[in-house]
Amino acid sequence: MTPRDQWLHIDNYLAELRRCLPNMAVADREEIIREISAHIRESVEEPGSSIDEILKRLGSPEMIASQYGQEVLIRRASRGFSPVSILRATRELARRGLQGLALFLGALFGYASGAALLLTVILKPIFPRQIGLWIGPAVFQFGYHQPHPFDPVHEVLGRWYIPVAFWLAFCFVGCTTYGIRWCLRRFRHHRAFVAGSPVAQLAALL
């Protein structure tokens, strides 16, 4: 293969990769193309290198596009504060193994708990006698409780339930967000530099 044919082969490969990356921001797509192009051209300059072997080692454009799409999703979640993005990223990781599944379930539990507490804050003025902190013999219940006439429990927070429940909801959401972001950053670093995948390494550096 002549040098001209090599560069044409590379350009065709990159064009196909660009076609497979439609569902992302233009800036992200072009940055991916630049990183992959630089990696290929640096590898070609190594003695005894083969363009076919380099491209085979990288994988098909479809496979790279799928992997980069996953990495971009995880990167955004690890840097942002959106619960939706974090849940989407951890759901993607849940498909890869038990650690990802545990991370997804942890995020789901944290955000669901925060949402449930916020719901009780909204409902407290509507059902003031059913929502609160209920204490009695062998009973410690935070949230909804339907008291009976001879039920030996009583509500102890009263109107203070709303700020307390709101603060607890904030803690659940905040701790979940920062904890999952930290785990996602560690996951990206581990995936890129322990697994040793060239694509994963480039994606992690974006």
Predicted pLDDT at 114: 95
- All structural domains of the chain with their residue ranges: 59-205
Radius of gyration of the chain (CA): 26
Between 28 and 98, residue with greater pLDDT: 98
Strands 131-136 and 139-144, sheet pairing:
antiparallel
The pLDDT of residue 206 is 47
Which pLDDT does position 167 carry in this prediction?
A: 95
Q: How far apart are CA 143 and CA 148, in angstroms?
A: 16
| Residue 71 in this model has a pLDDT that exceeds 90 | no
Q: What whole-number distance in Å separates Cα of residue 132 and Cα of residue 165?
A: 9
> pLDDT tens digits, residue range 27-69?
778 888 888 888 888 887 777 778 888 888 888 888 888 777 7
Work out the average pLDDT over 166-183. Answer: 94
- Which phi and psi (to 5°) does residue 142 adopt? -110, 115
Per the document, the length of the chain is 206
pTM, to two decimals: 0.69
Q: Each residue of 190-199: pLDDT tens digit?
A: 554 334 455 5
pLDDT at 189: 63
Instruction: Give the long-range contacts of residues 188-194, CB within 8 A, separation 24 or more.
Output: 188/71, 188/74, 188/75, 188/78
Residues 6+ apart with CB under 8 A from 201: 192, 193
Condensed to tens digits (0 to 9), the pLDDT of residues 142-162 reads: 888 877 777 788 888 888 999
pLDDT band, residue 186 (cuts 50/70/90): confident
What's the confidence (pLDDT) of residue 185? 84
Look at 101-105, 110-114, 139-143 and tell me which has the smallest mean pLDDT.
139-143
Q: Average pLDDT in the 71-79 region?
A: 82
